Amino acid sequence: MTMTRAWSLICLCVCLSVGQAAVADAHGEDVIPQLSDEETLIAIKEALVAEAQETESQVVNTAWLDSDGRLHESTLVQSGVRVRGIQVKSYLDAMNEPKIEIALDEKRAALPQCFTQDDQLTRTLVMRSSVQAQGGESGLLDVLYTLERRSVAALRQAFAQTEEWSLYEPGPAVDSYTQLLAGITDVQTQYRMHIDVTLSEQPADHVAEEIPKSDPVSVFFHGNPSKFPEQWVKVHASLQSTQRDEPLWTASAPIRIPVRDVTLGRVRLPDVAEEALIQTINQWSLELTEYGRCEPMHFYLAESGSAGVTISGGANSGIRLGDRLLVLDEARVPSRILEPGTLAQLSLVEVTQVSADTAVVAQTAGAAIEDLAHKVAIPF
């Protein structure tokens, strides 16, 4: 399962319309009470169970003998549920108090593909770039640097036009001592993107462009033409969480640099390469916008001394005091969502303190927050 598809399952689109208590009108209608955190968590579990019961599940039994001759058995249940959203409003309207099934925490459900409950939040991002030109043809290094600058500028413009991403300038690449001495504070973002521009081989089915007047006869009478041969480079982009090493999104594109004149001074990117780069950046922008819209916003948890538990997002991400988040175990969700005990590990937390890039949360319902290395918090 790819990382994108896995996280697509994580997004818990429980359209949980929990309004404030309605004021009774002149006819004396009953006021609808607001659900507590415990009741809200139970409603989420019941909605997940209801969705799981409507889909087919695959059960795999495994048995083996250990070195002492004892028989062990395990059961894996995989649900095929794939939904756009779980409608919980009907549950909330109908219940006077939560209905807890006998084995609620032993039942499983999956999570929807697309998520809309974090539209008020934004993903913070920092972008860096580099050029690798070892062994390149003469005159190619300037083209590589021009491609790098154009790629970064185009992506910056694309991020500025979207509501899903907030791009921040990276701090200077200095050691920690210099940072402390100069008072440099680097912004802590949720994501980082790296742009690499490297040399590339031409495609196997490509016929290289010939340099005019480069045949032996012309070279004999007129010398070598003052032109650079056709060359190929690759622009590669990689998006990662600042809390994890594995890439969340990657893309690369070959760019053909056609035969061009040898010139002095500033290098101008050939029109063919410029058009190919623009098409590439436009495609990447669409993919990143779709990623921001449909992938779940999730925050990693960490301990912060006396402050307690913090999440990897703050005011820059749109987090506010009083916000509530659902905490789950990313090691078990979604790949092991159907195993007994997974729903029992869900927790609700509330934001109690907010800084620019982190926030302090406190548990309000569900399981105790332990094993923070595997826990993430998502809106619901």
The two structure tokens encoding residue 359? 């926030």
Q: How many beta carbons lie within 10 A of that of residue 215, not counting itself?
A: 10
Q: How remote is the C-alpha of 122 from its chain's centroid? A: 11
Residue 155 corresponds to which tokens in the numbers above?
Answer: 């992506």
From first to last of its 380 residues, the chain has per-residue pLDDT tens of 444 443 443 343 333 333 333 333 433 444 445 678 888 888 777 766 665 556 555 555 566 666 777 766 655 554 444 333 333 344 444 444 444 444 445 544 444 456 566 678 899 999 999 998 765 555 688 889 999 999 999 999 999 998 889 999 886 666 666 766 766 666 789 999 999 999 888 888 888 888 877 777 776 777 777 788 888 999 999 999 999 888 999 999 999 999 887 777 677 888 999 999 999 999 999 999 988 887 778 899 998 777 689 999 999 999 999 999 988 887 766 545 556 677 788 899 999 999 999 999 999 999 998 888 888 898 87
Q: Which residue has the tokens 């992506």?
A: 155
> What local confidence, expressed as pLDDT, does residue 265 receive?
67
The predicted structure's pLDDT at residue 316 = 93
Q: Provide the 10 A C-beta neighbour count for residue 343.
A: 24
* 58 close to 80: Cβ distance less than 8 angstroms: yes
Q: Using a CB cutoff of 8 Å and minimum separation of 24, what contacts does 320-324 make? A: 320/351, 320/354, 321/351, 321/352, 321/353, 321/354, 322/350, 322/351, 323/350, 323/351, 323/379, 324/37, 324/40, 324/348, 324/349, 324/350, 324/351, 324/364, 324/380
CA distance 311 to 325: 10
What pLDDT sits at residue 201?
Answer: 86
Q: According to the model, what pLDDT value does residue 68 have?
A: 76
Distance of CA 176 to the CA centre of its chain: 28
pLDDT at site 4: 43
Sign of CA pseudo-dihedral 284, 288, 289, 293: positive
